[in-house]
Amino acid sequence: MLKTAPLPNMCLSEWDQDYSHKVSVLIPCKNEECAIRKVIEDFRQQLPNAEIIVCDNNSTDNTSNIARSAGAIVLQEIRAGKGNAIRKLFSASSRDICIMVDGDATYSSKDVHKLIQPVLLGQADMVVGRRVTPQQELDAAYRKGHQFGNQLFTTAMSKMLKYPLGDVFSGYRAMSRRFVKSFPCLSAGFEIETELTVHALDLGLTLYEIDSVYGVRTDGSASKLNTLRDGSRIALVLMHLYAQIRPVRFYGTIAAILAVCSLLLGLPIIVHFIETGLVPKLPTAILASAMMLMSGLFSGCGLILDSISRGRKEVKRLIYLSV
C-alpha cells in the first residue's frame, strides 16, 4: 500500500544540516537554459551541502554553461533520451541518497524533505513525488493526452503488478544508494520511470508515494514528450518488463487463449468424427491442431523463462544487498 511518513520532531534547518551532505541531486535535461539555474538554486537552498549533478542530454542551447555557472557538476550525454542521461547520472552519483528531478522547474524543491526522510530512515528504497496540480493550472501543466495516458498506464500497471500506484511517470524521486547501484537502467527514453517502478516492485522493495506540487513550465521551456510516440514505447516496454517478471502469467495467458480457440474450432470436428468416422473441414482441423501445439509451446516457454527470471531476480537481490 502507499504510505507517507511524518517528519521527525526537529526544526527544518536542523534537519537540512543533518543530512544534506548525504544527498546527490541528479538532473537530466535537454535545452533547459530558461529553467536550469532556478532548479539548481532552489535545491541548493533546500540542501546546501548536497552534490548537484546535471546531465546535459545533447542540448543545442546554453544549458551546460548556465548549470556550471550555477555551481552544478555538468556531465555530457550525446545519446538522445532521458534514460541515457539517467544512466550516466546514476553512475556518477556518490552519495547515500539520490534525488532524481527534471530540469524544467515544474517540481517543487520544498517537497524534497518529504521524499528524503523515509529513505534516510530506512523505511523505503524509493519515494515517488506523486504530482498534485491546482485545478486552475491543470490544463497548462498537462496536455490532455498526457493526463489520459498517465491515468491509463497507472491503472494498468497497478493491476498488472498487483500494487496500488498513483503516478508511475513522475520524474521526482528519492532513492537509496543500494537501489540506484542495483538498477540496470536499460531504457533509453521516457520509459525510464516505468522501469524504475517495476524494478522496485520486482525485488519486493518498499515504495512510497507522497504528494508533491507540480506546476507549469517556465516560459521558454517546452516538453520533449511526444504523446503517441513515447506512449507506444512505454506500452511496449511495460509489456516486455511484465513478460520478464511474470513469465508464467504472461505466456500462460497467451497459451490459454490459443487453447480455447483450438477447442472451439476442433470440438465440432471431433464430435463429427466420433459420430461418422469422417474428418470434415480438414484445413480447420489442421489449424486447431496447430493452435493447440502453439499453446503447449507457450506454456513451456513460460515455465522455462520463470526459472530464468527467478535466477535474474536472485542476482539483482544479491547486488542490492551487497551495496
Domain limits, the chain: 12-243, 247-322
**Region 181-205 average pLDDT:** 85
Angle of the 227-245 helix axis to the 282-322 helix axis, nearest 10: 80
Predicted pLDDT of residue 218: 67
Mean pLDDT, range 81-96, rounded to an integer: 91
Categorize the per-residue pLDDT at 41 as very low, low, confident or very high, splitting at 50, 70 and 90. very high
- Distance between CA atoms of 213 and 283, rounded to whole angstroms? 61
Burial class (CB in 10 A: 0-12, 13-18, 19+), 289: middle
pLDDT at residue number 142: 57
Among 47-56, 226-235, 252-261, 274-283, the least confident range: 226-235
Q: What is the average pLDDT across 250-255?
A: 93
Q: What is the mean pLDDT of the chain?
A: 84
pLDDT of residue 66: 94
pTM: 0.77
The per-residue pLDDT for 85 is: 92
Q: What is the pLDDT of residue 223?
A: 59
251, with CB counted inside 10 A (0-12, 13-18, 19+), is: buried
pLDDT at 8: 44
Task: Tell the CATH topology of 12-243.
Answer: Spore Coat Polysaccharide Biosynthesis Protein SpsA; Chain A (3.90.550)
Q: What is the mean pLDDT of residues 83-97?
A: 92
Q: What is the mean pLDDT of residues 227-236?
A: 72
Q: Is 275 exposed, middle or buried (0-12, 13-18, 19+ CB in 10 A)?
A: exposed
